[in-house]
Amino acid sequence: MARRNQGPKLRWFADRGAYYITWTVNGRSRKCSTDTADREQAEAKFGEWLQVRKRRHGPSDPAEVLVTDILTDYAAERGPKVMGQDTMGRAIETLTRFWEGRTGEAPLAVDAYVTQRDRAAGTRRRELGVLQTAINHAYKHGRLARPVAIELPASPPARKTWLTRIPVRLGSCRPASICGPLQASWRCQ
């Protein structure tokens, strides 16, 4: 009787001086080098290899894909190219905490997110906009079989007062150093 497949393992090959990932497919042994002799680095590469290997290669139903996976892929692929990287990073961090363990087919959870998130309407809308963009990105790149529509909250009203040079000249504004750490900024009273 054939032995049961043990799954992928990390093994040291002394003749090559490196750790290798070994596994069996249809009775044939396979191996992939980690290109390192350091055990910790090899384990990190092994973890990355497992993540890539378990990912499906075709479009998936949104009910089968975790929202956190969609956000992680979006941050990895689009993050370096976006102008507002810190804003996107904070939004993804906040979204990840709420959507942990939930799948992409959860439009009802958007209402729960809006009520649970104790921030301004514009902040909640911006964060959900990042989620919608990440879902559209996953659909565009063939990871989702269909897009999921996220209903964004209503836009907050526009500001009525904007700082111009006229109030600054008239003295109706004060330096931000009174209000905060930025010396060069001005705020209207």
Is 60 exceeded by the pLDDT of residue 173? no
Sequence ranges of the domains in the chain = 9-54, 62-140
pLDDT in tens, 34-68: 988 999 999 999 988 887 777 666 677 788 888 88
Tokens in use for 106?
């959860």
Q: Comparing C-alpha atoms, which of 132, 137, 138, 140 is closest to residue 113?
A: 132
CA pair distance 152, 140, nearest whole angstrom: 20
- From start to end of 14-61, where are the E strands? 18-25, 28-33
- Whether 65 and 143 have beta carbons less than 8 Å apart is answered as yes
- Whether 176 and 185 have beta carbons less than 8 Å apart is answered as yes
pLDDT in tens, 95-153: 888 888 887 766 667 777 877 888 888 888 888 889 899 999 988 988 888 888 888 88
The whole-number pLDDT of residue 42 equals 92
CA pair distance 124, 69, nearest whole angstrom: 20
CA pair distance 187, 189, nearest whole angstrom: 6
The one-letter code for the residue type at 68 is: T
